[in-house]
C-alpha cells in the first residue's frame, strides 16, 4: 500500500529529530531557495544571446530547492501542530492580495 503525502509527512514529523533540528533543516533549505533565486537573477542579468539552456537549468535548480523547502516546511508545521492554521492564514493572505488588486485595478 502506498502512503499519501500527508502520511509520509506525519511519519517524518514523528521521528527522533527535535523541533530545533527540524527548524535548522528548514532554515538550510530556505537558504537553498534564496541561493537558487539569486543565481537565476544573475543569469537573467548577465547572460546574453543563446542562454535558454542556462536559464532552464536555473529554473530547475529553483524547482528542486523549493521542493526540498516545501517538504521541510510541511514536516515542521506538522511537528508543531500548526499545518491547518498556516494553510488558513495563507489562503486568507492570498484572498486579501486579490481583493486589493481588484480594488486598485
Decide if 12 is inside a domain: no
Decide if 5 is inside a domain: no
- Position 70 scores a pLDDT of 98
- Position 52 scores a pLDDT of 81
Is the pLDDT confidence value at 66 over 90? yes
Decide if 95 is inside a domain: yes
Decide if 3 is inside a domain: no
Residue of 13, 36, 37 whose CA lies nearest to 25: 13
Q: Which domain holds residue 95?
A: 18-104
pLDDT digits (tens, 9 = 90+) for 71-95: 999 999 999 999 999 999 999 999 9
Decide if 63 is inside a domain: yes
Decide if 2 is inside a domain: no
* b/e burial code for range 33-46 (CB count within 10 A of at least 16 → b): beebeeebeebeee
- Position 48 scores a pLDDT of 79
Q: How many residues does the chain have?
A: 105
Contact 26, 70 (CB under 8 A): no
- Section 34-43 average pLDDT: 96
Domain count, the chain: 1
Residue of 60, 74, 59 whose CA lies nearest to 29: 74
Cα–Cα distance for residue pair 49/10, rounded to 1 Å: 47
Is the pLDDT confidence value at 33 over 80? yes
Is the pLDDT confidence value at 22 over 90? yes
Taking the CB of residue 98, how many other CB atoms lie within 10 A of it? Answer: 10
Decide if 72 is inside a domain: yes
Is the pLDDT confidence value at 47 over 90? no
pTM: 0.88
Amino acid at each position: 500500500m502506498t502512503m499519501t503525502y500527508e502520511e509520509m509527512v506525519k511519519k517524518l514529523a514523528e521521528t527522533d529529530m527535535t523541533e530545533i533540528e527540524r527548524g535548522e533543516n528548514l532554515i538550510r533549505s530556505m537558504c537553498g531557495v534564496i541561493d537558487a533565486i539569486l543565481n537565476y537573477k544573475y543569469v537573467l542579468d548577465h547572460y546574453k544571446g543563446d542562454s535558454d539552456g542556462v536559464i532552464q537549468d536555473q529554473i530547475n535548480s529553483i524547482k528542486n530547492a523549493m521542493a526540498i523547502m516545501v517538504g521541510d516546511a510541511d514536516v515542521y508545521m506538522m511537528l508543531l501542530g500548526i499545518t491547518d492554521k498556516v494553510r488558513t492564514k495563507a489562503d486568507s493572505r492570498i484572498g486579501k492580495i486579490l481583493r486589493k488588486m481588484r480594488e486598485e485595478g
